[in-house]
Structure 1
Amino acid sequence: MQVLQVQLEVGADPAEVGRARRWVRSRLAGSGIQADESLAETLILLVSELVTNAVVHTGHPAVLRMVLPGVQEQCPGTVRVEVADASDRPPAPRHAAGEETNGRGLELVDGLADRWGWRPEGAGKAIWCEIDRCAASGAGEVPVYDGVAFEAV
């Protein structure tokens, strides 16, 4: 399976979240995921939440990564999003009450992604989530990535 891994460095400014969303849209356009697909909007929302959390809660730059499956396949697999930040503190999901304006990010990620989690990375951590494009035909299978192309921005 051919996959493409792309990466974007995101500054510590919350305004960088908008730039990350635009970047994701541009990368999806070449991946076979159409802008009007619900998957595209879901991925953009997930990226927005994870990048916002990284920038707001750490005050440091972050690295956004996406792994996109090849477009030649009939059922093009799993899309993975990762955001690495400089904090070694594990993510702490909260449940926002009533009219609170914060505290729903990880709850949203949990509801939209097929899987999510985190792992230590260097002095910080990486939070990741995955969406299966063809869940009906490959539910529960872990994709094997052999033949990876990589792009860093």
Structure 2
Amino acid sequence: MRATSARSANSLVGTLCAVSIRPTSELCDLARLALTELVADVVRHTPDRRAAVLMTRRPDGRGVRVEVTDTRPRPPLSTAVDELAEDGRGELLVDAVTDRWGWTPLPDRPGKTVWFECDVSKEFGE
């Protein structure tokens, strides 16, 4: 991944949201923000800076699911960080702007998939 990858991923989410949901929806903005953070994490912390991004509409049609798979087997940090630290808040941001998120180790090679879901209901305050 190059440093421009976060921008490319952001654009991808916008395009997919325009096709599957609405181009101006808050849900798309939240998915863009979370995906940008996950891609930036890959660029900063994965030695080969490579990742695969998959975005799908949830089977029930009520939102989107985004997956970022990389080659770093270490799980994402989900603990509190020093408030003066320059980094370490990415997962807190993802947690704040998505409805669900988590990660799974890859079964057949080193690496993991970090995923999140954003619900349509969040957009309408339901």
Same fold (TM over 0.5): yes
By percentage of residues, which structure has more helix? 2
Write the deviation string for residues 102-137 of structure 1: whole angstroms up to 9, x where unpaired: 1111001111111111001232100001112136xx
> Superposition pairs for residues 2-151 of structure 1, below 5 Å?
11=1, 13-34=2-23, 36-60=24-48, 61-69=50-58, 76-121=61-106, 122-134=109-121
By percentage of residues, which structure has more strand? 1
Normalising by structure 1, what TM-score? 0.69
Contact 2:62-2:119 at 8 Å conserved across structures? yes
Task: Give the Å deviation of 1:68.
Answer: 1.5
> 2: CA distance between counterparts of 1:69 and 1:120?
21
Question: Rg bigger for which structure?
Answer: 1
Alpha-carbon spacing, 1:100–1:80, altered in 2? closer, same or farther (3 Å): same
Normalising by structure 2, what TM-score? 0.83
Aligned-residue RMSD, C-alpha:
2.2
Amino acid at match of 2:117: E
Q: Which has the higher contact order (CA 8 A, sep 6+)?
A: 1
Q: Structure 1: give runs of 5+ residues left out of the alignment.
A: 1-10, 140-153
Number of aligned residue pairs: give it.
Answer: 120
Q: What's the % identity of the aligned pairs?
A: 33
Please identify, of 89-98 and 56-65, the stretch whose mean Cα deviation from structure 2 is larger. Answer: 89-98
